[in-house]
Amino acid sequence: MPQPIERFHYGQGEVLAARWSGDTPPAANAWKKLWDVSALSVALARESFTHKESRSGKKMEVRDISNGESGTVKATIAAINTHNLALLLSSSVVDIAVGSISAEALPTGIVAGDVILLDHVGISDLVVTDSAGTPVTIDAAHYELAAAYGQLTILSLPAAPTPTQPLKVSYDYAAARAVGILAASSPAKIALRYNGINLAENGAPVIVDLWKLQVGVLSEMALINNDTSVANLPFEAKLLADLTRPDGDLGYFGQMRYLDTDG
């Protein structure tokens, strides 16, 4: 066997994930980029117990017996998109098609100063009417619309004629993507690929495959920021054995690969 080379690691690189479907490993075309991942680490553990002999009277340990292997993956994801959110919110992405609403009734008893959240966001062509037999259109000077957020603020109500409540709204709304929070019945299982760039070795490729991970839920996400860094998604997952793998030298958890054969 050749003498191992001296190798150091200072890594950057791309991280991809692919979801398992139940107990079926991901298909070859299921991979999605996590984009900017600012930290990635793997911690491994081997559980064991010891046996003490009973012959000498000294109770010396004579065996260390393996009782299982486990691992944890931690990462920090800076790219906050719907795919990454769905992964960590234990959910999926729901696409909402463009559409329109006709005569959506608002609550009764509306007064000046009320803030109303409409059923949709990305609002355009808003018309507010009352419920009179011949509906009266409320002038836009009486309300303020935050169109992107679907938020309607009542500034005042017409003095004459007094509008008949409930007020009704008609509008068009834009397409959107929604991600539920803890909407799935169980956490996602994924495979992870790290396409590493080893800056300590002139950018040499390092490829790490983790074949089966159970993703933990998002522990924290800063929604209002006052410091000088972007918000991140803390990522933690439990390493699981992929028993669909053939029994061989690479085991059941994953592999690390280098393109040279010297080290």
- Residue 5: predicted pLDDT: 81
> DSSP letters along the chain, please?
-PPPPP----EEEEEEEEE-BTTBPPPTT--EE---EEEEEEEEEEEEEEEE-SSSSS--EEEEEEEEEEEEEEEEE----HHHHHHHTT--EEEE--EEEEEEEPPSS--TT-EEE-SSSSEEEEEEE--SSSPPBPPGGGEEEEGGGTEEEE----SSSPPPSSPEEEEEE--EEEE-SS-SSS--EEEEEEEEEEGGGTTEEEEEEEEEEEEPPP----SS--SSS---EEEEEEE---TTS-SSTTTTTEEEEES-S--
* Matching residue, tokens 């958890």: 253
Distances from the Cα of 146 to the Cαs of 75, 99, 166, 186, in angstroms? Answer: 36, 18, 21, 36
- CA nearest to 211, candidates 223, 229, 193: 193
In this predicted model, what pLDDT tens digit does every residue of 63-109 receive, in sequence order? Answer: 999 999 999 999 999 999 999 999 999 999 999 999 999 999 999 99
In this predicted model, what pLDDT tens digit does every residue of 200-257 receive, in sequence order? Answer: 999 999 999 999 999 998 888 899 999 888 999 998 999 999 999 988 889 999 999 9
pTM: 0.84
Task: Note whether 244 and 258 are within 8 A (CB).
Answer: no
d(CA 263, CA 258): 9
* Matching residue, tokens 């509906």: 135
| Six token digits for residue 214 | 């159970």
* pLDDT band with cut points at 50, 70 and 90 for residue 34: very high
- CATH T-level fold of 11-94+181-258: Factor Xa Inhibitor (4.10.410)
Cis peptide before 107 (omega within 30 of 0): no
| Six token digits for residue 258 | 């280098």
Mean pLDDT computed over 109-132: 96
In this predicted model, what pLDDT tens digit does every residue of 122-179 receive, in sequence order? Answer: 999 999 999 998 999 999 999 999 999 999 999 999 998 899 999 999 999 999 999 9
- The answer on pLDDT for 262 being more than 70 is no
**Domain-by-domain residue ranges, the chain?**
11-94+181-258, 98-174
- The answer on pLDDT for 261 being more than 80 is no
